[in-house]
Amino acid sequence: MHKVICIGELLIDFVAEHHSGTIQEAIHFVKKAGGAPANVACAVQRLGQSALFAGAVGGDPFGDFLAKMLTSEGVDTSFIQRSDQFTTLAFVALSEQGERDFYFSRGADAALTADTNLLPLFDKAMVHFGSATAFLEGPLNETYRHYLGAAKEKAALISFDPNFRVDLWKSNKESFIRQSLPFISASDLCKFSEEEAFLLSGKDTHKEAANHFHQLGTKLVCITLGYQGTFVSLNGEQTLVESVKVTAIDTTAAGDAFIGALLSQLAQHARVNDLLQSLKRLSPLVAFANKAGAFTTQSYGAIEALPYAKDLESPL
């Protein structure tokens, strides 16, 4: 069994409810735990594997809430740091036309510093870099790159999800692309949305984008395509692994459930690298991850919508 170590942000999503419009007009905000790498850690844990989350929250009641939430999910929280800065808050409101109004109050997540005690745990681990905020300014940026180097040195299995958020990179996409490339090069597996695949490769087909990422160095490319499933590219073979049909009501965290489920499957194999040789052997794992993503779309929220192993035993 390999431990899955997820690095990045854990934050509060304040989601405007009972109202459609802008953040300025909204009155009721519901407090939810957020942060893609934290969602992935919870997904892994719910699917019966062992996850550790490393990230920073504030020494305030929101930080307490977040740390407690991850602990209650069974995630190893011993590498959560408490910063003097306030916990990072993201506010989201949707207009009736579905337009997103987003405001980000960056705080403690940026303060993550490297902890040398984490490095020995990289041995035989799977290290997932799935942060949406790590390429912004702050100590996390350097910490993230430091941990990438350490994971490579320890020959950990490295997973990368760029988690591009257009709201955070409106005028500076080039910086996002530039900073993502070393992660793609160093990773054994990368998960992209279609938008990310095209943005980061500069190509406009799945096939070309995947080939570009292989040239950079990654072995396995998964491009997740919502209800259609996942385009998978490995070792010269490419295929679409279809998802299952569900009635989707909220796609939040579907991608996190997908990568968490894929990692949880890989974590059970002693010789993971053998699985990363053959598309035939890997496809059932991707199908399982698709099912986890599909399951998550059937209810509202992020962590609360993620499946447990028993939820995926029978058809959805």
| C-alpha to C-alpha distance for 270 and 260, rounded to whole angstroms | 18
| C-alpha to C-alpha distance for 148 and 131, rounded to whole angstroms | 12
How near is the Cβ of 226 to ligand ADP at its closest, in Å?
A: 4
| C-alpha to C-alpha distance for 164 and 46, rounded to whole angstroms | 25
Residues 144-183 binding ligand ADP (CB under 6 A) are none
| C-alpha to C-alpha distance for 181 and 216, rounded to whole angstroms | 8
User: Is the torsion defined by CA of 6, 7, 11, 17 positive or negative?
Assistant: negative
Instruction: Rule CB under 6 A: say whether 294 interacts with ligand ADP.
Output: yes
Q: Left, alpha or beta for 155 (phi > 0: left; psi -120 to 50: alpha)?
A: left
Instruction: Rule CB under 6 A: say whether 230 interacts with ligand ADP.
Output: yes
Residues 84-123 binding ligand ADP (CB under 6 A) are none
Beta bridge partners of 32: 13
Residue from 44, 254, 261, 263 touching ligand ADP (CB under 6 A): that is 254
How near is the Cβ of 229 to ligand ADP at its closest, in Å?
A: 5
Closest to ligand ADP by CB, 60 vs 194, is: 194
| C-alpha to C-alpha distance for 269 and 174, rounded to whole angstroms | 37
How many beta carbons lie within 10 A of that of residue 162, not counting itself?
26
Binding segment for ligand ADP (CB under 6 A), chosen from 89-97, 121-129, 244-252, 305-313, is 244-252
Instruction: Rule CB under 6 A: say whether 243 interacts with ligand ADP.
Output: yes
Instruction: Rule CB under 6 A: say whether 260 interacts with ligand ADP.
Output: no
Consecutive H or E run containing 141: helix 139-153
Instruction: Rule CB under 6 A: say whether 8 interacts with ligand ADP.
Output: no
Residue from 141, 185, 193, 283 touching ligand ADP (CB under 6 A): that is 193
Consecutive H or E run containing 29: strand 28-34
Closest to ligand ADP by CB, 49 vs 297, is: 297
Residue 40 has φ and ψ, to the nearest 5°, of -65, -45
| C-alpha to C-alpha distance for 299 and 249, rounded to whole angstroms | 6
Residue from 229, 303, 306, 307 touching ligand ADP (CB under 6 A): that is 229
Binding segment for ligand ADP (CB under 6 A), chosen from 75-83, 90-98, 287-295, 300-308, is 287-295
How near is the Cβ of 123 to ligand ADP at its closest, in Å?
A: 29
Closest to ligand ADP by CB, 63 vs 130, is: 130
* Contact footprint for ligand ADP (CB under 6 A): 193, 224-227, 229-230, 243, 246, 248, 251, 254-255, 258, 290, 293-294, 297
